[in-house]
Each structure stands twice: as C-alpha cells, then as structure tokens.
Structure 1
Amino acid sequence: MPTPSQHPTLLIITSETSEAERLMATLREARLAEHNRVIPTAEHLDKVIAEREFALILCCGYDPDIEADKVLATYKRLKSDVPLILLADPEQWDAQAAKARRAGARDIVRRADPEHLRLSVARELADWRARQASAALSERLRQCEHNTLRVTELSGAGVAFVQDGLHIDVSPLYAQLFGHASPEDTLATPLLDLIAPAHHAALRELLKASAPGVSKTVTVLDITCQRLDASSFPARLLATPSEFDGEACLRLIIQPLNAAPAVAPPTSAPAPVAPNAPAVATEATPIASSDSGCGYGLAPLIAEIESHIDAQRLVTRPFAIFFIRVVKIHDVMRDMGLSIGLELLDEFSLSLRTLIAERGTLVRVSEDGFGLIVDHLDELGAQALANELSTQARLAARAAVQDATAADCQIGYFLVSDRASAPEDIINAAHRLCIGHRYAGQTPAPSTADAQVTESSEETLARTLDYALQHDQLKLVYQPIISLMGDNQENYSVLLRLLDEEEHLLDAADFFGTAIRRGQIEKIDKWTIRAAIDVISQQRRTGHNLSLFINLSEDAFRNPDTVLWICDCLREFDVRGNWLTIQFQEEVVIGNLASIGKLVETLRKIKCRVAIGHFGATERPEMLLQALALDFVLLRPELAQGLADDSAKQQRLLQLATLAREFNVKSVVTGVEDARALTVLWTAGVDYVQGNFLQRPSTTLAVQA
C-alpha cells in the first residue's frame, strides 16, 4: 500500500536529473509542488507507485533515452488512478497526442510551454487534493458508522439493511428481537411481515424514499413489531438512506421502547404505542454518544490544553497531562468478544471518572486510551497520581484473562510549564512516555554533584549572559558548507560564542543550558537572528552570494513572535528570506512535529529555507520528509567519523542521501574529519559537506585554502 502524504509528490520519468530540476523549478516558482521522485524508465513503474503515493506523473517524452510509446503502454496496462501528463517536443505533439489519450493520459504539453504545464499541473493537483479530502471524509463516515453500530449494540438496538422491502443484511441482535434463531432466518422474511399492519403504509413511503433520485430524508417512527411467536412489542425505528454493496437501501435501527433508547428522546416522553396505533413520524434526533461522563476524541482534550495557554504560547496554569492506556483490553476482545470488551471499557471509563473525581479533566481519546489533565502538579505529585491510578483503576473481575497482579493500564505523564508547544505535541509526549518511548524534549536529571556545581556557577554565568546581550559581547562564528556539485552560493553555518569576563570565547554548549533554565534563550535567539541577517546584508552589498544557516532553540519555535521578529529583521536590513536557512534538530522535531509543521509553513511564506540537523537518527526519516517541506537535511556527524573504513555507515549514508534526493531535498554531511571520506561522499551523491577537515569555525567569512 502506498505511503500517504500530506504534500503532493510528483513522479518524473526522465533520464536527466537536470531536466527534472528545471521542471520542478518552474512548478516551485508557481508554488505548485515541492517534492518529486525521478526514475529513468517506466520498467518498474508499478512497483514505484505501490511504494509511495504520488499526486501526478510527468513523462518527458522528448528525452531521447525515454521511449514514450513504452511508457504509455505500461501506464495503460497498470490502469493506475495516478494521472499522467506527457511532455513532448512541438514537432512530435500531433503524433503523440492520440497515443497519449488512448493510454489514458490527462494531458499532453509542449516542451516549450511552461504556462500550459503550470495550468495542467494546477488542475491535476486540485483534483488530487479533492481526492484526499474525499478519502478523509469517507474514513470519517466509516468511523461514524462504526461508532453508531457500537452505540446501538450496547443499547440493545438491532440494525438491518433493507431494499425493496427485503432484508439484505441484519445484525444478530435484530434477529433476536424478532425471535429468529439466526440472521439467515430473518433474511428470508420480508420487512412488512415483522411490523403490525397498521404501520405498513408509513413503511412503504420509507421504502420509496430509498429509491435512487428521491430526496434523502431521515425519519423516526414509533411502531409495533411482531415476533415469530405472534407476540408484539412497541419500538422506535430510525430509518436512514444508506448504501450496501454500492446499491441504495435503507438502514434501519429498531430500539424496543422498554430498553434504553438508541436515539435521544424528545423533550416530552412519547406515549406508549398501542398494537394497532398508526405510526407517528417524528423529527430525527442524533444518536446518543455518551462516554461515562468524559468527552470523546482529541478535540475536547486539545480545547482543555488551549485553555491553559495564552496567545503567546505562555502557560497561564501549569499542568500535568497523563495518557492512560488499557493494555489488557485487546486480549479481552480477542478472548471474550467485541461487545463484552466495549462494555468493559465503558465500565472502566466510569470507574476512572469516579476515581479522579474533581481533581482533573478526563477525556477518552481512543478505543483504549484516555487523556487526563491535572493543574498545578509537580513531579512528585504527578508520580503519586500515576501510581494511584495504576493500582486502583482496574477492569471488571470477569476480564481477568492474564495475571491479575499486573496493572490493567499503562500511564505516562508530562509536565507543562513556561512556554508550550502545540497541543498535539503535548498529547504525543504523554503518549510516547506511556508506551515506553523517551520523549525528545526530556533531559536527564543532573546528578547531585552537577547540581551543586550548577548552583554555585549558574548565577555568575547568567549575569555574564545579560551583560553580553546588553553590550554586544556575543560573537558569531562561521563554518563553510561546501558544495560537491558546483553550487556557487556561499553557504555558512552560524555558531554562537560568548565572550566571558576573561575574554575567552565559550562554546554554546557551555552556556545554553543556563540560558534555557534562566529564560534567556529567546533573547539569545533573537540576537543571533538579527546579527546574522545584518551580516548577510553587509556581505550581499559587497557582492558576496552569502547564505547563512541558523539553528533555532526549542523555546524559539514555540514563540509565535519568532517569525514576526525574522520578518522585521529582513525588512530592516533589506534581506531576502531565501538567503536565510532556519535549522531545527531532528530530535526536537520528532517531539514537536505539529508546532514545527505550522512554523515551517509560515517560514515558507516569507521565502526562508528550512533544514533539519542530525538527520537520520529515527528509524523512518522519510516520515519527516513527507510531513515537512524542507530544503536541506544535515546528516548526523557520527556518520562521517571513520566513514572510509565502515561499510555499514557507507550504506546508511547512501540510503539517506538517496532518500533526500527523492524528495528534492539537498543533503549535507557534517563532521567531515578526513580526506578519504570525501570520495565516499562524492560517490553517494551528497550535495554539501561541512567539517573541521575543510575548515574549523572562524570569526571571518573567508574560506581558507
């Protein structure tokens, strides 16, 4: 199954990488696409399409190494729903147009007509987005129908699909309501045989409403049902136009009125239905969806988190967020059945709500997971509450399919104070800790000795930082990022140094921890951004094609004012956004993907380039490339150490460089320390290199020979 993507990815069939770059430059200029993959032939087109979801295929039919007829034949044979646009030389256009249309191509574009190409691609990408939206809505509809069936099953209602008065599918409970031994017995019985004759006229009207072309309505009827043994019972019927196996039908939900209602009752309770009373149509009401006193889904939990955070992402009320996962429930469902498992989950939800009482806000976010927010908890308080819930929140005794001494739920918690990232990232942090993953934003607690050293020296260092910010004693140093592919742009990575009282330059690692703990890191980031943009302005005025890479801290990207500060600085020094590359570390991105995703979109709007550093640490780095529109990835420096003698590192580096190239992202290998590594990097197709072997960080921008 192809991997879904939030951003459109184009598949370009050409033997010339430069031609693919030219096409992407045309589309990127029109803001139509950012990502692409290039293949030289259509030989393995089916496999490529199966591996990843593509929004569009562009075939360069004018490429002398591409046999357009073979590509079209392969595409026609595959019957793929990915649209294809054929690019042809003007003199070949007429000859290839008919073949392209017969093969199912959506358009054929002349090679020298970029405007036609942009219009055609824009149309196909609009269709792609419409298909994405349709698929998402279909999935939501499927989930809603699933939840509806769960509610009806738990409430004692039966469900049936009816066409032309005949049952085409029924639930076991529906069959039981009418005294049938199995659903198959009910399928052989017409619907009208199960309903008292007084209601037949109303039911015939419902059946007419399910015919194609007839206006769709939702109706609720109070009726009398007849069992197999000739006894009867009053019931409420909810009739909804639906589809079964692609054919129009009615979905019926029948709820005996002496059981809990499957639909929310009207304000005044309905009068009992006499056996021969006519059916009364009432206005349809939503199916009840209560979850034992707590909300359901991520939306209530996100809203609760947002209520703790102001417009500047500052936390107005510190809180702890817990993720509670019922680990045994899937075994229960496997051994005891879905209906019992769902019933036990509802009982667990009620007991959990009772246990928490008024201490916090509980939300059920998934089938087996709950989110809990409690205000003003410190580490000890959060640990104590987690232990209490783990010990006391238990499934009912009949669910003891495993060791009864083991906890029924896993709990992870995350403390939020100061400035917060996006609510989705906060929820993800608690979830990762619940399932045993270390959250990227965590830092290990310092030892007692370290704490003593920090306490005795941190105040002095904090005062030095304040003085440096006020008197311009922070210094930028630069390390060149050198192209292996002949790029004439002067790229430099910006590093920060602090001039201490003895006029020694301290590395960023020596003071960043203090700056974060003392709330000075945002001021340092703003100083760095403004100073770097000033340098770009000065160098550009003297004719240098300079571009700088700046690494932002976690606190900076959580602050919505950061982009405004960048915009103000760009405007102040008359610098273009694409001369500046904003860099984030991969370990930070993983824990804050929602926050950084929004920031990246904003940075793209002001033309800034975006990079991820320490790339390749995760098991599936392609997920980051799919989720974020990136320009560069800077690989972990560990990959370059001993590279010439380590075949495993060479293979990994080749994989990452190839992956970046598939997404049209430039790769940078950092930490290069010896000349032998350069041969390997060149062979792997790496775009840029950086390291002390090439040049150590310097206060000057001149590349040393």
Structure 2
Amino acid sequence: MQIGKDKALRLLIVDDSVEAAEAIVSGLRNAGIAVRPTRPENEDELKALLDGQTPDLIIADHAARGIPLARVGVLVDATGKDLPLIVLFGTIDDARLQEATDLGACGVVVRDRPAQIEYVVRARWTDLEARRSLRRLENHVRETERRCDALIESSRDPIAYIHEGMHIRANSAYLEMFDFDTFEDIEGMSLLDLVAPQYVDGFKTLLKSLSKGEPPPPRHEIQAQTLDGARFPAVMEFTAATYEGEPCQQLILRRQDTGMVDETLLEELRQRDQVTGLLNRQTFLRKLEDTVADAAQNATQHGLLLVEPDHYARLVQEIGLGAADDLIAACAERLHRALGPEDVAARFGEHQFAVLRPGADHAATVALAEQLRAAFADAVLEVGDGSLNITVSVGGVQISQRIASMTAVLGKAAASVQSAIGVGGNRVDLFDPGAVDRAEQERMAAWVQRIRDALDKNGLLMHFQPLIGLHGEPREMYQAFLRLRGEHGEIVQPLTFLQIAEDNGLMREIDHWVVGNAISLISERARAGHETTLLVKVTEHSLQDDALARHIEEQLSAHGTDGRLLIVEIPESKVFTHLRAAQAFQARLARLGVRVCLEQFGSGLNSFQMLSHFDASVLKFDRAFMEDLSGNADHQARVREMAAKARELGKMTIAEFVQDAGSMSILFGAGVDYAQGHFLATASTSMDYEF
C-alpha cells in the first residue's frame, strides 16, 4: 500500500478557524495525500467522533479555545485507542515541546510550514499503519497457531514436537503408534527411548546437528520401538518450528510398510503443475523465499522474471477454450527449452510463468529476459492440430539487498510485466533497484510517446454512463469517461496513463480533446433528434489561463451547440486551492450557458461555504457517502442534509457509485436529483440507454 494514494487519511482537526483547518487539508491534498477530514465544533462532537469511526490522526491547535488542547489529550487518552496526536503551534520553543510531550503527543508541527506538516503527517501515519499491521499479524499468528494445533491433533500422521531431544507435544496418532494413552505418559520423555538400540548412536549425532541449527536431512530411516520392546521400521521427517514461542523441531514419524508408494515420487508430483510439468506456484514461492532471504543476508543477486503470452484472451478465442491447456503446455515447453540447467521455472498463474536464475547480475537477467522473448518471437508453437506464432511480454526484478522482501519483489515483477503488456507487448521490462532512474525514464518515455500518438492519431475514446433522474421528467444525460485505445484494440484504463500524462504536462491537451469531442457528440446527437447532456471532467491545469474556456467557446460556435447541454466537472479540493482561477473560468463558461459541477462535494470541512465564493450549478456528492449507505446512519443523515441545502440554493445534485436498491430508496427520499453507478448501468461505448 502506498500511503496517501491507495488509502485515504481520516484526519480529525481541532482548530477554531475553519479556513485554517481547510488550509491544512488542502496542503496535504496538494502533496498527494487523499484526506477525509472532520472538524468538531465542541467537546460533545469530539467525543462522538472518537467513539465512532476512529480517525487515523488528530491535529490539535495549541491555541484552540473551543476545545482546549488539554481536554483533547484527556479525551484521546480516555478512548484507550491508538490515536496519534499531533500538536499545531504558531512557533516552537523548548517549553512548548515539553508541553506536547507531557500530553503524550507523537509530533509537533508549525502552522506556516506545510512541508513540515506533510512530513510529520506521513511519518506518523506510516508508523500507525505499521503498528496496525503488526497487531493484525499477531492476531493472525495466534489464530494460525490455534488452527494448526487443531489440524495437527486431527491429523492421521503421527506428529510430535521435540525440544532438546525431549517430547513437548504429540498428537493422538503419535501416541497410538507407541501405545500411550495420554500425552502425560510421554511428556518430557527422550526421543532416544523410542529408537532401537542399534540406531541410537547415529540418532544422537542427528540430534546434535539439529541443536546447532544445521538443516535436517529430508528423511531419516530408523527402527522405532515401543516401551514393551516391539520394533518396526520408520521414517522420520524433521522441520524447524516453534511451540509456545520456543524453537523446536516438528517430527513426522511414518511406519514403513511393505509395498508403500515411493514417497520421493509422491513429493515430486506434489511440487509439479500437472498441465506443464513445471513447478507449481506454491513450490516456486518457497524457493523464491529462500532466494530473497539469501539476498538479504549474504548480499547476493538473483534474477526473477514473469512471462505472459501477449493477447492471451484473443488466442484462446481463436483456438477454442478446450485447447487452452494445450496452448499453456506448448508455451511451457518452449520456455523450458530456452532455459539453462540452473534456471528454475514454474507455472505461476493461469497463463503466467515465473523463472528464477540464482546468482544472476543485472546484465545476466536482462540477457535471459531477451533470450526468452526472442525464443517465442522467432518460433512457431504447435498447439493441437494447428500452429501459432505468438509473442510474450517479460517483466522482472533484480533481487538484491536493496529489494530483499517477498512483497516488494513480487510487486515490482508484476508491475513490470503489466508495463510491458501495456506498451504493446513483445517487450522486456526489468526493474533494477540499482538503476531505477534509468529504467523509469525509459518506461515514462514510451508511455509519453504513446499518449502523444493517441492525441495526434485519435487513439483516445470515451465511454458513457447514464445518469438516472429520480424526480420529474426523464432527461437524457451521460457521464463521459476517458479511455485510451491500445495498439491491438484493447482498452487502457485512465489510472494507467493519466498520472504519467500529468507528470509530463499533457493534461491540458487531454482536457481540450475531451471537451472538444464532447461538444461534437452533443451536436451529432442533436442532429439525430436527441437532446443529450454530457458531463466531462477537466483538471486544475486548465484553470491556469483562459485557453480551455476559449476552446469551449470556439467549439460551441463551430458546431452550433447549446452550451446548456455541457457540464464541466472540477474536484472541490482543486477549486479551493485554485479559487481565483476557478472563479474566472466559471464566470466565462456561465456566459456560454455551460454549467460547472463540483465533484467530490462534501469531502471538505465546510463544502457549502465554498458555494458563497464559487457558483457551481451542480453538486456531485463524494463517493465516500455511498459506501454502505443503506446501513450507515451517519452517511444517510449527511446526504439528506446536503440535498436539502442544495435544494434551498437551487443546485442540481448527483450521487455517484450507487451500489444497491436500498441506497436508491434513500437517495429518492432525500431528494437527490440524479443517481449514477454500475448497479444502475455500466459505462459503454454507446449512448443507447432507455431513459
């Protein structure tokens, strides 16, 4: 999880000034942190917020009078929750630092230093998430231990736990094998007492090696004996384990019977994928985990590659679903022939393969990746009665001490293969933590060129989702969503390319394309007898000058389009941080009849105060209010409140991301004008909804 990107920060601000609190929120949002702020007016509201959905962080003004800082500290302590408190000062000295420390604050910030506020907020939030993860992990470990204990007890395999050669735990099957009635009969007994005399010396040597931390052999054959002297051949399997926090050895002891199936063969079968003959995912992950641990401990380097056939869905359509396994088997065979004897290969997903080359440096990993790519591009695969020439995308990661964790390694490898697929396939994309800047620049350059080509060659397109009227006569209204057309006709979602476009100064051009195409479509629909209203999103980058407003005016005039059929959406937070530019933009559009919609409305501390400075005609409620709306009384009350205030001000309201029929009933009762969401209708390339 990336802090501030994949998750919103629930921030509680104690400050007498709404404007000052909003400035903190805006500063954090401008820094890339998604914020869900709340601001209590008095102690009762603060208690209610602390008792309800727990905030992630609390920022309290040292000089606040409405809720004094001392009372904030008392109320936070009374919850007994892990609530990081950050104290906000105008200036800082030793006395104030001591005061904050005495209150139990985890940090202090200075009001007019937004960079420092951002740094402290990120650091304390990261610490909080680490503590939460640790608590979840501890709970998970306890639950796992409980379940494992239950599974061991019910297992038909005789299992015991051995510490310093003594029994500290044994299941029923183990007790039964040696004719013990209860665990008390064997507790503390030496394992040597259950080994036939002629095997004792060798077994002592094994126990000494295990006590020194040396790895156990895969299997150790002995003759076991019961207390009455009855002997039988047995195989022991040892695994390092812990029991009640103490290191020990888990022992599985199996009686060797005549005619027993070859255990080695069975183990080999358990480790293999039955379609391809390659290792299965679970076995490969164990080997990868050992490799990553080796990189962390011994500063070694290794190469991990993920390989996917390009356009797999289309290939399966061509050959038929019944031949999908044949295709995968053919790919596996081609992959295997291209690998060296030291390489480890596995079927890692439905149509994804993984390759591990131990000891490979960056150059060797790149060479292997190119070798695999070329092996498919230059070959014809025999699949069933036919043949195919396919290409593959190869993504990978150079494993080293700089990226020696399973989560990071797998995440970077998955991102790399998706990046290779995203820019057309038949490519290699390798993440090397020692050359991040170079690799990132190359990837960005490819994406930037692809976006420029889409703008120049009509490679962008729109999908349309209807807005359903809840009151009055039905009107034809759609939300337009931007998409990018891939090289082979696949649709690329905006999350994949919009951030890259923004980082490289392409958003103004994209905004112009979106608005121009929307006006053209409105005009085209009008000629066909449809009065269609379109909502389009634009970014704050287009507020910096009048270029987009002039473009809208020119396009409306050129197409003879009624400006009232175009609604331009801007996020509430961006209007707040670019208020003067947004005011000028809205005023110019109003003269053309074009309406402006405030998106994510209600996410600020006092959203309706914004409307006294910015005359938005349409309010689209923040999607957070739709989460479990039918079961969340707080969200229901907030939606009713916002809808009522909007009606008083003559504003049209929209609820997006509507999830169920219960939510529709609540929105209707609240007087919301329009509803939108996949529950009602999905976005598609055509505008053919029956209103």
TM-score, normalised to structure 2, is: 0.41
The one of the two structures with greater contact order (alpha-carbon pairs below 8 A, sep at least 6) is 1
TM-score, normalised to structure 1, is: 0.40
